[in-house]
Amino acid sequence: MGDFNRQMWREIATGLLATALAITVPACSDEPTEANSLVATLPLTNFQVKDTTVQALSGRSFQQYIAMNGNVNLIGRNGGFVATSAVEFNPANFPERDTINVVSAKLTLHAVTWYGNSNSTLGFAAHRITRSWSSNTLTWDSVQTGFYEDAVRGSFSATAGTDTQAIVLDLDTAMVREWFRTNTSTTTTKYGVALIPTPETQSIIRGFVAFGSDSTSYLPTLVVIAVNSAGTTRDTSTFNTGVDSFVGNIAPSLSDPGLLYLQSGIVYRSTLHFDMSGIPRGAIINSAELLLERDPVTSRLSKFVADTVVAPHLLQSATDSTSFDTEDGTSFGRRKSGTAYTFSFNIRRHVQSWLRGPNYGLLLRTTSSSEFSTPDLYTFFSPAAANAAVRPRLKIVYSIKGY
């Protein structure tokens, strides 16, 4: 057996010994340190540990219309961002009562968040939706033509109240009466209402509990009082199941090349690409820390953001930005302790994958818990930022075989 093979088998035996010791030694609550670490005392020879900092090669931001269908629906307008909601109560729950007269129909929505100026006026109007729709496919571009009629079927206007607030609007009784009819046609629809912010709403967006929420007492609710055709019998019916969603847009578009944009509710996402050619293909990535600098001037984060986190995803296509790996909480980016605006991400797994190839780069987005329920905007300095010190950078520690 040659010297090289003997050395290789010695290293394999050393690794097996380390694994056996790790399994047989009882667990303890102490965190591993250089003093008590088993691996630190083993003679791991012929490996070199190196570190490097790689600057981002390129980056871009883009807007992508996707279906929201979250647990909170948005209505309002603020800073160029506009949001409208759609609500449809389950038609199958309405009994077929062609001859009733609807006396009143009250829609109650429960607000739980707000963005913008809490002292400003929130106003929106209900418009009858004219065609079938799905909360899984509803997007901004799909509601711009022929989605709802011009006639107003109910309205609300008031100064925004407390963080949690019930909002009630009276719906057109003739429209609601259609929901009890047997047939569905172009003139008799059961597709619900679109809630569109009125011109007086300029600086506030409110978030309302959606049907998918676990807060059953806060679900959208419709209370209908009706009488029979003779006017002799009156009854009250309550409905709180159905489908809903919201769509959002922003104008003007976000287009500063010196920034990367991540915005919920629209959505804006960003990509980054790093050149890995300076690291040997067979290297073992020990750590990879992505560092981004948030711009506090252009970011817009509300008080309802409990934890400012951003999700990095491994892109799986050079041309399709919707093709990426699943969300992994262990790689989320958060503000780095001791800094004001630096976000740190653990992307060791991503970098190791890039070394194996292919390297399509990284997708950045707000996490799924906020992307479908808020209008929060994160802005980070891009690879084109004028100040090189705030550009995206990647600190990598890796091991390579030495002889």
Q: CATH number for the domain including 289?
A: 2.60.120
Give domain status of residue 52, yes or no: yes
Task: Give residue 193's pLDDT band: very low, low, confident or very high (50, 70, 90).
Answer: very high
Look at residue 17 and tell me if it is in a domain: no
- Give the Cβ contact number of residue 336 at 10 Å: 15
> CA-to-CA distance for 383 and 93, rounded, in angstroms?
54
- My answer on whether 80 and 189 are in the same domain is yes
> Binning pLDDT at 50, 70 and 90, where does residue 403 land?
low
Angle among Cα 112, 114, 117 to the nearest 5 degrees reads 150
pLDDT digits (tens, 9 = 90+) for 203-247: 999 999 999 887 778 999 999 999 998 888 999 999 999 999 999
Average pLDDT over all residues of the chain: 89
Residue 193 placed within a domain? yes
Which residue blocks in 184-274 are alpha helix, DSSP H?
none
For residues 286 and 370, state if they share a domain: yes
**Residue at a domain's end among 250, 285, 318:** 250
Q: Note the maximum CA span of the chain.
A: 104
User: Is residue 350 located within the same domain as residue 391?
Assistant: yes
pLDDT of residue 183: 86
Residue 229 shares a structural domain with residue 295: no
Q: Could you say which of 224, 250, 276 is where a domain stops?
A: 250
Lowest mean pLDDT among 27-36, 130-139, 269-278, 374-383: 27-36
Q: Retrieve residue 75's tokens.
A: 């209505």
**Residue 10 maps to a domain:** no
Which string of DSSP letters, residue by residue, matches 75-86? EEEETTEEEEEE
- My answer on whether 122 and 167 are in the same domain is yes
Half-sphere exposure of 277 (CA within 13 A, CB side): 3
Domain interval for residue 243 = 72-250
291 with 364: CB under 8 angstroms?
no
The answer to whether position 16 is within a domain reads no
For residue 44, what pLDDT is reported? Answer: 53
Instruction: Summarize pLDDT for 291-347 with one digit per residue, the tens.
Output: 999 999 999 998 887 678 999 999 999 999 999 999 999 999 999 999 999 999 999
Q: Is 103 found in the same domain as 51? A: no
Please give the Cα distance from 131 to 192 (Å, whole number): 9
Q: What is the pLDDT of residues 108-150, one digit of tens each?
A: 999 999 999 989 999 999 999 999 999 999 999 999 999 999 9
Same domain, 99 and 198: yes
Please tell me the predicted confidence (pLDDT) of residue 215. 75
Q: Average of pLDDT values for 38-57? A: 75
Cα three-residue angle 320-322-323, rounded to 5 degrees: 75
Question: Considering the chain, what percentage of its residues have pLDDT values greater than 70?
Answer: 88
21, part of any domain: no
Q: Which of 217, 250, 283 is the last residue of a domain?
A: 250
Least Cα distance to 341 among 242, 232, 240, 259 occurs for: 259
Joined tokens for residue 230: 């003779």
Comparing 119 with 41, the larger pLDDT belongs to: 119
Q: How many Å apart are CA 206 and CA 199, to the nearest integer? A: 15
* Domain match, 90 and 47 both: no
pLDDT at 4: 40
Asked if 70 and 212 count as a contact pair (C-beta separation under 8 A), the reply is yes
Compute the average pLDDT of residues 359-364. 98
**303 and 235 together in one domain:** no
Confidence of residue 275 (pLDDT cuts 50, 70, 90): very high
Confirm whether 215 is domain-assigned.
yes
Which amino acid would we find at residue 386? Answer: A
- Considering the domain architecture, whether residues 243 and 281 belong to the same structural domain is answered as no
What are the residues whose beta carbons fall under 8 Å from the beta carbon of 339, sequence distance 6 or more? none
Pairwise CA distance, residues 328 & 378, whole Å:
19
pTM, full prediction: 0.84
Instruction: Reply yes or no on whether the pLDDT at 56 is more than 90.
Output: yes
Same domain, 244 and 173: yes
Q: What's the structural domain count of the chain?
A: 2
Q: Are residues 177 and 290 in the same domain?
A: no
Interatomic CA distance for residues 338 and 12, integer angstroms:
41
Structural domain contains residue 332 = yes
Provide the percentage of residues in the chain whose pLDDT is more than 90. Answer: 77
Rg of the chain's alpha carbons, rounded to an integer? 28
CA nearest to 204, candidates 374, 82, 369, 107:
82
